[in-house]
Amino acid sequence: MRYVDCGTFYDGTGTDVIEDARILIEDGRVSDVGTVEDLAVPDDAERIDHSGEFVLPGFVDTHIHLRGNREMDPFTRVVEHDRPALRAARGTVDLQTLVESGFTTVRDVSSDIGIGLRDAVAEGEIPGPRIYTSGKGFSQTGGHGDSHYLPYRWVESEDDPSVVDGPTECRRGARRRIRQGVDLIKLSSTGGVLSEKDEPYHSQFTAEEVQAFTEEAHRVDIPVAAHAQGAPGIKNALRNGVDTLGEAV
């Protein structure tokens, strides 16, 4: 057993803070919270001393991209696409920064290095928050996740395509991600502010295409997240089984 002695503890639920608080931890999970006076601990328990500090639960970020990019210039990202080791090293630094900033759980919604980073954290090889990742997100041709500035044949020739069209390709793509071990599926159901040839109000993917993603994901009990900004695309996503909506680049 371990326990944390806190100067002041706030649990984030709206209840009053606890002064001279103590948190009991068993098997890596919080088992009880109360005052130092109320919660006795065994003599051999490990004490973590934050008795002079304000303590609260770890933060959760439900929409990040663990890509290891350092700028938004599209052609820099093209060049760095073939340097996954560099981006994974940067991503390791990013995870350290997240932990030091108080984040204990993050959801990575589209990156090609997220699965490896997740597993390295889970193995205890690198410090970082708990990661839930979608792997590479999906876009229709000409959609928000398509690289509009590249020749079409470059995008079309990817070994692991994330640009898919039609229910069959969408279903196969979802199954491919599930095989890779993702925690959720990510798709873009509208355009966005940083994609060249679409707009945030443009709806993307048909109802049948969205259904293909959600059917495959829900069959193995994982959720589906969508980039969604315009109302038609938001409604299309919700009506066809998408679990969470968000907007980012």
Query: Does 124 share its domain with 198?
Result: yes
Query: Does 45 share its domain with 112?
Result: no
Query: Does 85 share its domain with 22?
Result: no
Cα gap 145→204, rounded to integer Å: 11
Cα gap 236→146, rounded to integer Å: 20
**Residue 110 phi/psi, 5° resolution?**
105, 100
Query: Does 156 share its domain with 102?
Result: yes
Cα gap 77→69, rounded to integer Å: 7
Residues of the chain with pLDDT under 70: 155-158, 248-249
Predicted pLDDT of residue 208? 98
- Residue finishing a domain among 39, 57, 75: 57
Q: What is the DSSP string of 56-123?
A: -PPEEEEEE---------HHHHHHHHT-HHHHHHHHHHHHHHHHHTTEEEEEE-S-SSHHHHHHHHHT
Query: Does 32 share its domain with 129?
Result: no
Structural domain boundaries, residue 215: 60-246
Query: Does 130 share its domain with 235?
Result: yes
Query: Does 106 share its domain with 130?
Result: yes
Query: Does 113 share its domain with 147?
Result: yes
Query: Does 161 share its domain with 178?
Result: yes
Predicted pLDDT of residue 78? 80
Strand 185-188 relative to strand 224-227, pairing: parallel
Q: Which residues contact 1 (CB under 8 A, 6 or more apart)?
A: 24, 25, 26, 41, 42, 45, 46
Work out how many domains the chain is built from and give that number: 2
Q: For CA atoms 211, 212, 215, 220, give the dihedral sign.
A: negative
End-to-end CA distance of the chain: 43
43, 32 contact by CB (below 8 A): no
- Residue finishing a domain among 57, 80, 95: 57
- Residue finishing a domain among 57, 85, 100: 57
Q: Look up the CATH number of the domain holding residue 39.
A: 2.30.40.10
Predicted pLDDT of residue 246? 87
Which H or E run contains 154?
Answer: helix 152-156
**Residue 48 phi/psi, 5° resolution?**
-110, 120
Predicted pLDDT of residue 244? 97
Q: Look up the CATH number of the domain holding residue 144.
A: 3.20.20.140
Query: Does 11 share its domain with 104?
Result: no
Strand order in the sheet with 59-64: 59-64, 103-108, 130-133
pLDDT tens for 122-162 read: 999 999 999 999 999 999 999 998 988 877 777 666 677 89
Query: Does 83 share its domain with 206?
Result: yes
Query: Does 17 share its domain with 48?
Result: yes
